[in-house]
Chains A and B, each alone.
Chain A
Amino acid sequence: MIHQYKSNGYNIVLDVNSGAVHVVDGLCYDVIACLDGQGASHTPETLKEDGTLAHLKECLGDRYIESELTEALEDVIELTAAGRLFTADCYECLLEEVKKRKTVVKALCLHIAHDCNLACKYCFAEEGEYHGRRALMSFEVGKKALDFLIANSGSRRNLEVDFFGGEPLLNWQVVKDLVAYGREQEKLYDKHFRFTVTTNGVLLDDEIEAFVNREMDNVVLSLDGRREVNDRMRPFRSGAGSYDLIVPKFQKLADSRNQERYYVRGTFTRENLDFSEDILHFADLGFKQMSIEPVVGEETDPYAIRESDLPAIMAEYDKLAKIMIEREKSGKGFHFFHFMIDLEGGPCVAKRLSGCGSGTEYLAVTPWGDLYPCHQFVGQEEFLMGNVDDGIVNPQIADEFRSCNVYTKEKCRNCFAKFYCSGGCMANAYNFHGTIHDAYDIGCEMQRKRVECAIMIKAALA
């Protein structure tokens, strides 16, 4: 499968199955498009046949002379012979092997507090309550969760635990106690816990900062961008804005971590479709690691992203990509999570085929110890998988998640971005289509655009 597009003056050709990315001139771009349009499975041998050049002459003869077409075709043949163009999809058969592998649990999202000190308008956790009641996780439940993780992790050494909420700092002592417990246990079982925390920063202080820097592999700092944007969607329950209180704390924390191993993370809605301004605002505040993601909401929510918003969003991603190139070249670069792409050392095919891991290797734990496929499914009883006392009691839920991949979804099978999003967010698919075996179409459009921008940035900085 070939995907080719023009962006910011670059002619880009992505050979989807090999992951090879080529920047080509206009002639070669047209030749590849012409060959791809034939719909045939090209090999070096078929490309060398007389009929191939004849076809190119027929399609492009009015724009290019024969010697030009011959020269470009030679490059195409060389790439194809090297397995970097017109590569066949040989991964579907690998899928059976990947599925047969014993799945271990390697990551937990601990809902350490189903309570929050902010009242964000778009919160999928319903201000921390997740369709349920306010609650804090006890140390006993958290301890059992870590025991469950160790017991179900097989030979996997690196285990991830995210302290999530609601707002986890509302239950900070339990977080500290669980980290201490985890550090004891990892020595006994030859494991290594990678703790992370996601916080709104309201309760962040020097003591917490020191602990986070000592113990947390990553910290996600929730902030939406410009003051007016943040305060519109992320107010206190009183209605007052949170920006002024939080921003200095986040700046201090980011600096204390040498601007590494954190993300300042925001959400954009249809009320700030000019979200590149919020990302640049982060950069101007001194942050180097950032993410701003489209809101997850019901179609009826006034702030939800609609299909009609897509042109503006696409233009915004394009604009952001160009600015990021300029800033990088001027020594003021920063990382935007959704434009990060590692063309050389990215994930292996097995990882790309298995997706986000929700419901199989990644589970969420409620304050009272129930297990769900991920944090977004918490509170939806049909997805209750078990609990920390009895383990997985509904293995059919895990089986369903395991069976879901880019080859079982028709929308993904023919999508060029399938090896970058790995089928997308299953919670989003469920929310919009009532099944995890589908894809959230608006999200897919945005994902494809982000992949294109990320690759274009690589081309510009190569």
Chain B
Amino acid sequence: MKHVKTLNTQTLNNTVKKGGCGECQTSCQSACKTSCTVGNQTCEQKK
């Protein structure tokens, strides 16, 4: 594509079927404790 550079190959839709194992870290345990940031958590299956 001439006008677009896409930064990621994965999409959220792709995680619908395989996701949800629940093994990932609870967000507040990582650092925040006073806010909520889920998007920066790591998927346990992709480690």
Contact = CB atoms under 8 A, between A and B. Distances in A.
B29 A160 contact: yes
Interface in B23-44: 23-44
A421 B20 contact: no
A79 interface: yes
6 contacts: A106-B26, A349-B13, A355-B38, A375-B33, A419-B39, A451-B39
A275 interface: no
Contacts of A451: 39
Given A160-B26, A362-B29, A83 B38 contact: no
Given A24-B4, A263-B30, A422 B22 contact: no
A351 B15 CA distance: 10
Nearest to A19: B12
B5 A22 contact: yes
B25 to A, nearest CB: 6
Nearest to B46: A345
| Interface size class, chain A | 35 or more
A345 B29 contact: no
Given A23-B4, A343-B8, A443-B35, A356 B23 contact: no
A71 B3 contact: yes
B4 A296 contact: no
Nearest to A295: B34
Interface in A419-444: 419-426, 428, 443
Contacts of A18: 11-13
Nearest to B6: A22
Contact of B19 (A71, A338, A348, A450): A348
Contacts of B35: 293-294, 338, 424-425, 428, 443, 447
Contacts of B10: 19, 343-345
A23 to B, nearest CB: 5
Contacts of A340: 40
B9 A75 contact: no
B1 to A, nearest CB: 5
Contacts of B6: 20-23, 79, 84
A410 B25 CA distance: 27
A335 to B, nearest CB: 10
Interface in A170-208: 194, 196, 198
A351 B4 CA distance: 29
Given A342-B40, A349-B19, A356-B27, 11 more contacts: A20-B8, A28-B4, A72-B3, A162-B29, A293-B32, A341-B39, A343-B7, A351-B22, A356-B26, A454-B40, A462-B7
Contacts of B19: 347-351
A124 B5 CA distance: 44
Interface in A325-378: 337-338, 340-352, 355-358, 361-362, 374-376
B27 A357 contact: yes
Contacts of B27: 356-357, 422
A357 B26 contact: yes
A352 B19 CA distance: 10
B20 A101 contact: yes
Contacts of A422: 27, 36, 38-39
Interface in A248-287: 263, 265, 267
Most A-side CB within 10 Å, residue of B9, B19, B22, B46:
B22
B7 to A, nearest CB: 4
A263 B8 contact: no
A54 to B, nearest CB: 20
Interface string A383-397: 000000000000000
B3 A28 contact: yes
A294 to B, nearest CB: 7
Q: Which of A71, A346, A419, A428 has the most CB of B within 10 A?
A: A346
Given A291-B32, A343-B7, A421-B36, A94 B16 contact: yes
Nearest to A296: B34
B34 A348 contact: no
B37 A420 contact: yes
